[in-house]
Amino acid sequence: MRLPIAIGAGLLISFGSYLPLIAQPPIHVAKPQSSNSNVKKLSINKKLWNRQNVSKYSYQLTRSCFCTKEARGPVIIEVNNGMTTSVISVETGNPVDPELFKQYNTIPKLFSVVKDAIARKADSLTVKYNPKLGYPTQINIDYSAQMADEELYLTVENFQVLQ
């Protein structure tokens, strides 16, 4: 009969030795102050893009996300005068439901994705831009480091100005 009491007392004593650690408030790690850098880069590259005055273009978009295969691509998006004219699967050569890519189907909308991530104070935002034309070539967003499956990764390749 004394054995359960001895074990219980031993656990209580060992738990008690950790109590000062358990009672401490959580440590908050400061986020890096990179949003100003992202704001500046966004502004500079958006102006560079606008100066190009490109009205007809195409690009390949690949989206990595916790979403259906059809919504990931890669797809070829063609734009004329700010309007998306086609969204074609690279794999099949067939049209894809344009609704799946409506947030990413023009270069200005890609800039809006970056702007939104900054406004929402994403935990992590990394953007690479084309040095000549200014459009985003890579957008990596983790809105919350504490959540799973809300990350968004966009890759823009094979950009072409069309005649």
What are the pLDDT digits (tens) for 66-118?
Answer: 666 776 779 999 999 999 999 999 999 999 998 988 888 999 999 999 999 99
> Would residue 82 count as lying in a domain?
yes
> Would residue 59 count as lying in a domain?
yes
- Rounded to the nearest integer, the mean pLDDT of the chain is 82
Q: Which domain holds residue 79?
A: 32-160
Distances (CA, A) of 91 to 66, 73, 87, 96, 116: 20, 8, 12, 11, 30
Cβ atoms 44, 137 nearer than 8 A: no
Structure-derived torsion over alpha carbons of residues 115, 117, 122, 125, reported in degrees to the nearest 10: -80
> Would residue 12 count as lying in a domain?
no
> Would residue 75 count as lying in a domain?
yes
Tokens of 146: 């504490």
**pLDDT above 70 (res 41):** yes
> Would residue 127 count as lying in a domain?
yes
- The pLDDT value recorded for residue 78 is 97
> Would residue 128 count as lying in a domain?
yes
- The pLDDT value recorded for residue 63 is 86
Number of H helices, E strands in the chain: 3, 6
> Would residue 41 count as lying in a domain?
yes
Domain count, the chain: 1
